[in-house]
Amino acid sequence: MSANVEFFFPGDNRGVLLIHGLTGTPQEMRILGKGLNNRGFTTRGVQLAGHCGSVEDLLATGWKDWYRSVETAAREMRDSVDHLFVAGLSMGAVLALRLAEEQPSWVDGVGVLGATFRYDGWSLPALNRLAFLLPVLKRLGIGRRRMFMEHPPYGLRDENLRRKISEAMASGDSTAAGLPGNPWHSLAELYLMSRRVRRDLARVVAPCLIAHATEDDIASRWNAEMVARHVSGRSEFLWLEDSYHMITIDRERRRLVAGTADFFTRAAETAAAMAPAA
C-alpha cells in the first residue's frame, strides 16, 4: 500500500505544482519546493498514483493514472492561486508538458527538468537498445516481473549524496528514494505516454524553462532540445554542467532553484500584464 508523502508549502498567489519521476517520490522535489517557497511561491509536491509503495502498487497503474494525479492536483491548486506553474523531473517533466497540452488555460509556465522521453543517457546502453520493444512485450503479457535495476551513478554526480540514496533504496523504504529499479511494464507505459506527448507538443503555448544536465546519465540532451523545437510557447534553456540526471537534488540544486524562481516570476508578471482588466 502506497504511503502519502506529498508536501505543501503555503505562500503567495503564485502556485507551483511539482511532479516527481517514474518510480520516484515527492522527496526528490522537496528542495526545489522549499526553495521556491522561500521566494514567495506556494508549492505542492504531488504523489503519482501507484508510487511510494510496492512494485505491485506501481504495476497496477499506468500513465493515464499518473496523469490523472497531476490534473487532479492542478485543479485543486488553481482554485487558491492566481498563477499556476507546473514543473516536473524526468518523467515528471513529460507529465508537466501533458498538463500544458491538455489544460493550456490553467498553466502560466512549465519547468521541464531533465525531461525523459527516452532513456538514452550514457549509463543506459542496454535500456536504450530494448526500449522500443517494451510496449509490445507489455501487450503480450511478457516481462511483468522483470525490472531494469538502478546502477551507479543513480543520476547523481555528488558522491556523498549518491551513497545516501543507494543506502535508502537498499533499505526497501520506497517513500525515501523510490524503488530500486524500473519495471518493464511501467517503462512501457512511459514510452506510450511519451509518444502521445511528443505528438502534441505544439499545443504547449505556455513559456517553458528547459533545465538539463549537459552530462545527463539517464536522458541525453536530445530530450531537452526536442522539446524546444516543438513547443509553441517561448522556451529558455538552463544547462547544468556539474550535475547528472537528478538536478533537483544534485550539486547545482541552488542554481536550479534560483533559475526556476526567476523564470516563473517573469512569467507571472507577463501573465498579469496580459490579463483583461477587471
DSSP 49-63: TT-SS-HHHHHT--H
CA distance 172 to 206: 39
Looking at 64-153, which runs of residues are DSSP E strands? Answer: 83-89, 109-113, 147-149
Angle CA 171–55–88, to nearest 5: 85
pTM, two decimals, is 0.93
pLDDT in tens, 143-186: 788 888 777 898 999 999 888 887 777 766 656 667 878 898 99
- The SS3 assignment for 168 reads helix
Q: What domains can be seen in the chain, in order of their start residue?
A: 7-274 (3.40.50.1820)
- The SS3 assignment for 22 reads coil
pLDDT in tens, 18-66: 999 999 999 999 999 999 999 999 999 999 999 999 999 999 999 999 9
Contacts of 138 (CB under 8 A, 6+ apart): 144, 184, 185, 188, 189
